[in-house]
Amino acid sequence: MPDQPQNVLFLCTHNSARSILAEATLNHIGRGRFNAFSAGSRPREDQQPNPLGLQVLRNAGIPTDGLHCKSWDEFGKPGAPHMDLVITVCDNAAGEVCPFWPGQPATAHWGYADPSEGDGDEAQKLEAFRKTLHAIRHRLELLVNLPPTGVDKLTLQTRARALAAS
């Protein structure tokens, strides 16, 4: 990978749970090699990050400052940061037609069940978020530990896609 940090965009439908967990986690563990962002294909008006997701992040010692929900359209606009890697983290967003990403970044799909779905009590929902964070962090640790040199866009895409099986 080049000396500059790699920009990674995590996509989900509403940008309130899985993509937020991934953004915060990669920014926390990325060792300065990655800048993480997140967005949604269809965030609801006035959408906010899920409070249980924020609680799980804080419980894991991961900062939550500045996390907010936004549309993926923001990253296709002039002046938006160019992405090196775009990862969908929900099956709905993976099946949608994505906007044009400047620079033609590498892409991958890492599907996770939505921890905000379900009728469990607060403790069960919190546990679903904790398990999702753990699964996301596992893959991100593998990504962060890729060798810092000699990884071109094709290699990055191949390795990111292979992590979906992890």
Does 160 map to a domain? no
Looking at 74-163, which runs of residues are DSSP E strands? 85-88, 106-109
The residue that leads in pLDDT, 151 or 125, is 125
Nearest to 16 by CA among 109, 45, 26: 45
Does 164 map to a domain? no
Does 159 map to a domain? no
For the segment 63-92, the average pLDDT, to the nearest whole number, is 90
Does 76 map to a domain? yes
- 69 neighbors 47 (Cβ within 8 angstroms): yes
- 131 neighbors 115 (Cβ within 8 angstroms): yes
> Which percentage of the chain shows pLDDT scores above 90?
59
Does 102 map to a domain? yes
| Residue 2 pLDDT | 53
- 67 neighbors 143 (Cβ within 8 angstroms): no
| Residue 24 pLDDT | 98
Does 26 map to a domain? yes
Report the range of poorest mean pLDDT among 4-18, 68-82, 123-137, 148-162: 148-162
Does 161 map to a domain? no
Does 165 map to a domain? no
Number of domains in the chain: 1
Nearest to 98 by CA among 126, 80, 117, 75: 75
Ramachandran sector of residue 139 (left: φ over 0; alpha: ψ -120 to 50; beta: rest): alpha
**Count of residues in the chain:** 166
3-class DSSP assignment, residue 53: helix
Provide the domain limits for residue 38. Answer: 6-154
Q: Cβ atoms within 10 A of the Cβ of 25, count?
A: 22
For the segment 23-41, the average pLDDT, to the nearest whole number, is 95
| Residue 1 pLDDT | 43
Nearest to 25 by CA among 108, 129, 124: 129
CATH number at residue 122: 3.40.50.2300
